[in-house]
Amino acid sequence: MTDAACPASAAAQAGMERGVKSRLPMTSNFTPDHLLARSLASVWHPCTQMKQHEALPLVSIARGEGVWLYDPAGKRYLDAISSWWVNLFGHSNPRINAALRDQLEKLEHVMLAGFTHEPVVQLSERLAALTGGRLGHCFYASDGASAVEIALKMSFHAWRNRGHVEKKIFLCLEGSYHGETLGALSVTDVAIFRDAYAPLIREVHTVPSPDARLTAPGETAFDVATRAAAALERVLAARGNEIAALIIEPLVQCATGFAMHDAEYLRLARQLCDRYQVHLICDEIAVGYGRSGTFFAHAQADIVPDFLCLSKGISGGYLPLSVVMTTDDVYGVFYDDATSLGFLHSHSYTGNPLACRAALAVLDIFEQDDVLVANRSRAAALTQHLAPLANHPRVHHFRNRGMIWAFDVEGVGADFSRRFFSEALQQELLLRPIGNTVYLMPPYVLDEATSVLLAKRTLLALNATLTS
Ligand SMILES: Cc1ncc(COP(=O)(O)O)c(C=O)c1O
């Protein structure tokens, strides 16, 4: 066993150095400067019970190229989930690299309050044009959760500026995920992330999800969407005057286990929000930028939200960048002589020029390579290669939307996700199921040979997990 494959030994050394020897297993093959040991000793990894790394190896990555990530010894992993759904055009993409090199020579950063620069202006203009000019005002932040915070605050503040101080409740869907800062967590309905912090977070109202898996016999996804919208209307009719906004992940609720729904729900939600004077926030942090098959997911319902949150793919997976886009109507409510009516929110790195330049290179690639059209054939091919998985006796609800695939594995224990992850690594795949849901969200540069490999090895990883 190499050092890289034996993190327990690394962890043991890390523990010795930090004086927590008794909590870590001891083996002998480590080197003092081993990266895994140093990481366990000094880096508090996200979304992780650190103690589990006593048994589960950390994976060290030295470089990336296209869909592949490479460890220091050259072992490769196909990044089949685009590194937490951020990467669109492969790692170390030459065109994004070139844009960043050019920008580095010009301007790395300037504060955006009182100052502006070409990349942020161009990006805002191009994003607005992609919404047909209907969301013409871009407010920038860094991560997805910070965009959600902004949309929630802006919605509340817009109503307040209009004299509706009573509108301070938010609606979210069952199983929703919008991030983990306190405001975003309040509209996140995933117990494992939320429960510990319940006393800290605001009152929200959760409405039924239009999850297409909830079809009763004889029902279609459209019927589930209509039923969920009827439940939404009941809440709006009862409490609409207190509700500021409904926040939705359009078409796919990713983090809850890739619950997909019919676009009819978005159409009905838009109508209901208009009828009851409630803002509609579309959180396309995960599903925007072509993931759902169209550039923006909400376009499939032919609606316009009041707020659109984007992040992840916006910079091609290079740099933290997020944006909240909104309408002239909302923008106008803040535009006043009184400073206090303005939106006085900021982050130090808002509109960072390097991140915006990466984002411009991403939009160039979409245009120059006709990515949405190419993705249609890419998606059809992968769906075909995945047919043996779709027909696997333990697989239920095999589903696909654009460049997202997911399926649920029946009859597995609570450790399925971790065991599948390890088996997938053996197959040179980076795949991290959510509970019993396995999903694939590859970068948009997956070629035919790699698509075949991905499908075959996902099946091998599943069978190995089920028989181990
Ligand atoms: C729909 C959605 N909203 C918000 C977020 C939070 O984004 P971030 O992790 O960048 O804070 C995520 C992250 O997965 C997401 O999927």
Q: Per residue in 170-197, pLDDT tens?
A: 999 999 999 999 999 999 999 999 999 9
Asked if 186 and 223 sit in the same domain, the reply is yes
Nearest to 127 by CA among 297, 323, 304, 321: 323
Amino acid at residue number 394: R
Ligand 1 nearest atom to the CA of residue 85, by list position: 14
Residue whose structure tokens are 């509700």: 243
Closest CA to 287 of 297, 279, 277: 297
Are both 329 and 190 inside the same structural domain?
Answer: yes
Q: Are residues 151 and 205 in the same domain?
A: yes
Across all residues in the chain, what is the average pLDDT?
93
Nearest-atom index, ligand 1, CA of 311: 10
Q: What is the percent of the chain with per-residue pLDDT over 70, rounded to a whole number?
A: 93
Distance 211 CA to ligand 1 centre (A): 19
CB 232 within 8 A of CB 240: no
State how far the Cα of 242 lies from the Cα of 35, in Å rounded to an integer: 52
Give the pLDDT confidence of 49-105 residue by residue, as tens digits. 999 999 988 999 999 999 999 999 999 999 999 999 999 999 999 999 999 999 999
Q: Which residues line ligand 1 (CB under 6 A)?
A: 143-145, 148, 177-179, 249, 254-255, 283, 285-286, 311
pLDDT computed for residue 5 by the predictor: 29
Tokens standing for residue 348: 């130090």
Q: Does residue 266 sit in the same domain as residue 356?
A: yes
Which atom in ligand 1 lies closest to the alpha carbon of residue 322?
10
The full length of the chain comes to: 468
Query: Of 445, 456, 464, 421, which Cα lies nearest the Cα of 47?
Result: 421
**Three-state SS for 87?**
coil
Ligand 1 atom showing the smallest separation from residue 253 Cα = 1
Distance 448 CA to ligand 1 centre (A): 30
Q: Give the containing element (helix H, strand E) for 244.
A: strand 243-248
Can you tell me the mean pLDDT for 364-377?
98
Give the per-residue pLDDT at 28: 36
Residue nearest to atom 9 of ligand 1 (CA): 144
Q: Which residue has the higher pLDDT, 21 or 319?
A: 319
Residue ending a domain, among 338, 367, 396, is 367
Percent of the chain surpassing pLDDT 90: 91
Same domain, 288 and 322: yes
Task: Give CA–CA dist 209/231, Å, rounded.
Answer: 10
pLDDT over 80 (residue 4): no
pLDDT of 268 reads 98
Cα–Cα distance, 271 to 249 (Å, whole number)? 17
Q: % helix / strand / coil in the chain, to the nearest 5?
A: 45, 15, 40
Contact 300, 336 (CB under 8 A): no
Which ligand 1 atom lies nearest to the CA of residue 148?
Answer: 4
Tell me the residue type at 200.
Answer: L
pLDDT at 247: 98
Ligand 1 center from residue 200 Cα (angstroms): 20
**Does one domain contain both 294 and 167?**
yes
- Output the domain CATH number for residue 146: 3.40.640.10
**Of 24-33, 64-73, 289-298, 317-326, the least confident:** 24-33
pLDDT value for 269: 99
Residue of 418, 389, 419, 417 whose CA lies nearest to 405: 389
Residue located via tokens 């504060």:
111
Span from the CA of 47 to the centroid of ligand 1 (angstroms): 13
Q: Which of 342, 367, 392 is where one domain is finished?
A: 367
Q: Is 247 helix (H, G, I), strand (E, B) or coil?
A: strand
- The pair of three-digit structure tokens given for residue 416, joined into one six-digit string: 């399925």
C-alpha–C-alpha distance, residues 444 and 292, integer Å: 12
Across residues 21-34, what is the average pLDDT? 43
Q: Which of 247, 285, 321 to mutate to test the pocket of ligand 1 (most atoms within 8 A of CB)?
A: 285
Span 323-352, average pLDDT: 98
Instruction: Look at residue 34 in the predicted model and tell me its pLDDT.
Output: 87
Task: Indicate whether 40 and 118 sit together in one domain.
Answer: no
**pLDDT level of residue 369 (50, 70, 90 thresholds):** very high
Same domain, 321 and 440: no
* pLDDT of res. 10: 31
Nearest CA residue ID for atom 7, ligand 1: 144
Compute φ and ψ for 283, nearest 5 degrees.
-95, 100
CA of 180 to the centre of ligand 1 (A): 8
Residues 257-283 have a mean pLDDT of 98
How far apart CA 63 and CA 380 sit, in angstroms, is 30
pLDDT at position 30: 45
Q: Whose CA is nearest to atom 8 of ligand 1?
A: 144
The interaxial angle of helices 448-467 and 371-385, nearest 10 deg, is 40
The answer to whether 228 and 246 are in contact (CB under 8 A) is: no
**Which ligand 1 atom is the nearest neighbour of the CA of 312?**
10
Q: Closest Cα partner for 34 from 63, 64, 2, 56?
A: 2
179 contact partners, CB below 8 Å, separation of at least 6? 143, 144, 145, 146, 148, 149, 185, 188, 285
Asked if 288 and 407 sit in the same domain, the reply is: no
pLDDT tens for residues 6-24?
A: 323 333 333 333 333 334 4
The tens digit of pLDDT for each residue in 396-443 reads 999 999 999 999 999 999 999 999 999 999 999 999 999 999 999 999
* Phi, then psi, of 85 in degrees rounded to 5: 75, 20
Residue 235 has pLDDT above 60, yes or no: yes
Q: List, in order, residues 6 or more apart from 299 with CB less than 8 Å away.
A: none
Q: 288 CA distance to ligand 1 centroid (A)? A: 12
- Burial class from Cβ neighbours inside 10 Å (0-12, 13-18, 19+) for residue 294 reads middle
Q: How far is the CA of 310 from the centre of ligand 1 (A)?
A: 9
CB 438 within 8 A of CB 424: no
Q: Are residues 17 and 145 in the same domain?
A: no
Chain segment 125-182, per-residue pLDDT in tens: 999 999 999 999 999 999 999 999 999 999 999 999 999 999 999 999 999 999 999 9
- The confidence band for 26, taking pLDDT boundaries of 50, 70 and 90, is very low
- Let me know whether 268 and 224 are in one domain: yes
Domain holding 388: CATH number? Answer: 3.90.1150.10
Total domains in the chain come to 3
Contacts of 371 (CB under 8 A, 6+ apart): 290, 365, 444
Q: What confidence tens digit (pLDDT) does each residue in 93-126 have?
A: 999 999 999 999 999 999 999 999 999 999 999 9
At residue 290, what is the residue type? G
What is the average per-residue pLDDT within 328-336?
98
286 CA: nearest ligand 1 atom: 16
> How many angstroms separate the CA atoms of 188 and 148, rounded?
11
CA 285 / ligand 1 centre spacing (Å): 6
Under 8 Å CB-to-CB from 132, ≥6 apart: which residues? none
Quote the domain boundaries for residue 308. Answer: 96-367
Q: Tell me, in angstroms, the distance from the centre of ligand 1 to residue 177's CA.
A: 7
- Whether 418 and 384 map to the same domain: the answer is yes
